[in-house]
């Protein structure tokens, strides 16, 4: 055991009172005494203590102690500094690899019997021990949220080692199952929503920042505004993703016409267009879990029920990687073109530029086009914010979700590599030629 001088720490805001640290609190509890009897005594260094506790969790057969140990583990993990958390995450998978002997035995059993029992045994044998650890840690109070925070720590690690990549894949696989869209609740977020939820909407908005409560009110209270979010049962007032919607009479050509304080309000019954102008993922630890496509389709369904006269569902979207791509094409010293030439370059980028996977280079384009939308229009000077100028020289675009064509558009992109775009956009793209000496991107 550690000596008294090292086992106590001052509690913040306690006026100088002393309290045991999380590790000592665990070891002095009933579960800690039981661990001691089993010969498990975590070492004092934070990352070593975390590894010891993880080993204890995996070594105990009884399920009843799982929640208590998982809770104690998280108490210690959250009290550790980020460097110790990273050290734990970098080593835990290597210390608990798959059981090769068990896998060999299960394979032999399957080859001999080929029955359901041997198939089940093979499935159990091939599951990694860190996958089991993730499941047990989820038993802790608020275990799901705490695991999401742990993955956020993992994603912030300064080095992406093979061990961290494997652990990341295992956490992502667990979250993909737990956060299946069928398990999530779609809720409308309004000005009458709980204050703690509205505070999170302000904080999580990732596309067009919300400048305080009055700005938020303009986005969720008027009759021509909607906001919807996906929620998990264990995170009642903490959205996973949310979308802001504007009801308009036409396709908008600038973000100012949507969120500007002087905009004209449109009666919900007078609107013909529903514009998705901001989609924000809220949990960094859930990066890679595909919520957005399900969210848009569910929201379209709700809006059709509420306002069946709506004829067009579209976006006003940023083009976050355009400026960087254009600098690579023209040379950073050349600076961006203006007006129509800028629109032509944006069309060439969106229609022709590809990532290494062969899909559109721009992540927002990849998202909407992959969901079956059509690239409809490109607007210059549409986002004059500092971020809009930096990322895209002010360019924004409309993607249209024509429900009758969604499946065909998705097929065209994923199977044929073709970006489905309006005639206007295609004419812009064809009118812009690559600079000499630059590699031509594959056009749709």
Q: Which residues are catalytic?
A: 317, 368
Helices (H), 43-161: 46-59, 66-79, 82-95, 100-113, 116-126, 129-137, 143-155
Q: DSSP 3-state assignment of 205?
A: coil
Residue (of 367, 418, 396) closest to 257 by Cα position: 396
DSSP lists the bridge partners of residue 20 as: 8
Query: In the structure encoding, which two tokens stand for residue 231, read together?
Result: 């929620």
Q: Let me know: does 136 contact 147? Beta carbons within 8 Å.
A: no
Query: In the structure encoding, which two tokens stand for residue 319, read together?
Result: 């083009």
Q: DSSP 3-state assignment of 4?
A: helix
Q: Let me know: does 242 contact 212? Beta carbons within 8 Å.
A: no
Query: In the structure encoding, which two tokens stand for residue 407, read together?
Result: 């499946």
Residue (of 371, 367, 381, 363) closest to 319 by Cα position: 363
Instruction: Determine which helix (DSSP H) or strand (DSSP E) holds 313, and give its type and residue range.
Output: strand 312-315
Phi, then psi, of 267 in degrees rounded to 5: -65, 140
Distance of alpha carbon 180 from alpha carbon 334, whole angstroms: 47
Query: In the structure encoding, which two tokens stand for residue 287, read together?
Result: 């990066």
Distance of alpha carbon 371 from alpha carbon 348, whole angstroms: 21
Q: Let me know: does 335 contact 327? Beta carbons within 8 Å.
A: no
Phi, then psi, of 51 in degrees rounded to 5: -65, -40
Strand 273-281 with 317-318, pairing: unpaired
Residue (of 49, 74, 181, 79) closest to 133 by Cα position: 74
Determine how many CB atoms are found less than 10 A away from the CB of residue 97. Answer: 12
Q: Which residue has the tokens 């210059």?
A: 380
Residue (of 232, 442, 234) closest to 355 by Cα position: 442
Residue (of 199, 308, 186) closest to 241 by Cα position: 186
Q: Where are any strands of DSSP class E within 237-282?
A: 241-248, 273-281
């Amino acid at each position: 055991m550690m000596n008294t001088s090292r086992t106590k720490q001052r509690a913040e805001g306690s006026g100088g009172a002393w309290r045991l640290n999380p590790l000592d609190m665990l070891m002095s509890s009933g579960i800690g005494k039981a661990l001691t009897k089993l010969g498990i005594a975590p070492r004092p260094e934070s990352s070593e203590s975390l590894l010891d506790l993880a080993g204890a969790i995996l070594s105990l057969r009884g399920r009843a102690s799982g929640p208590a140990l998982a809770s104690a583990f998280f108490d210690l993990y959250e009290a550790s500094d980020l460097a110790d958390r990273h050290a734990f995450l970098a080593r835990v998978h290597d210390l608990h690899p798959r059981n090769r002997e068990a896998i060999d035995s299960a394979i032999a059993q399957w080859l001999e019997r080929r029955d359901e029992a041997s198939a089940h045994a093979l499935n159990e044998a091939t599951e990694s021990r860190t996958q089991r650890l993730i499941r047990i840690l989820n038993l802790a109070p608020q275990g799901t949220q705490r695991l999401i925070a742990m993955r956020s720590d993992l994603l912030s690690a300064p080095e992406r080692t093979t061990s961290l990549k494997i652990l990341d894949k295992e956490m992502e696989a667990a979250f993909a199952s737990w956060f299946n869209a069928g398990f999530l609740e779609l809720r409308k977020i309004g000005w009458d929503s709980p204050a703690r939820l509205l505070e999170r909407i302000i904080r999580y908005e990732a596309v067009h920042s919300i400048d305080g409560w009055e700005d938020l009110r303009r986005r969720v209270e008027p009759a021509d505004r909607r906001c919807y979010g996906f929620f998990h049962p264990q995170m009642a007032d903490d959205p996973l993703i949310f979308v802001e919607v504007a009801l308009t009479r036409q396709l908008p050509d600038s973000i100012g016409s949507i969120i500007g304080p002087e905009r004209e309000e449109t009666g919900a019954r007078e609107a013909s267009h529903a514009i998705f102008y901001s989609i924000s993922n809220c949990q960094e630890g859930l990066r890679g879990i595909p919520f957005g496509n399900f969210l848009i389709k569910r929201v379209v369904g709700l809006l059709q029920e509420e306002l069946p006269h709506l004829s067009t569902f579209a976006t006003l979207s940023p083009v976050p990687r355009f400026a960087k791509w254009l600098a690579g094409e023209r040379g950073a010293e050349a600076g961006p073109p203006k007006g129509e030439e800028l629109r032509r370059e944006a069309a060439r980028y969106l229609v022709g530029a590809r990532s290494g996977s062969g899909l559109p280079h721009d992540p927002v384009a990849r998202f909407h086009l992959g969901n079956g939308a059509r690239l409809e229009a490109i607007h210059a000077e549409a986002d004059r914010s500092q971020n809009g100028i930096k990322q895209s020289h002010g360019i924004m675009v409309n993607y249209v979700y024509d429900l009758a064509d969604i499946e065909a558009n998705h097929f065209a992109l994923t199977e044929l590599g073709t970006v489905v775009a309006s005639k206007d956009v295609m004419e812009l793209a064809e009118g812009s030629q690559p600079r000499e000496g630059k590699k031509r991107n594959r056009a749709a």
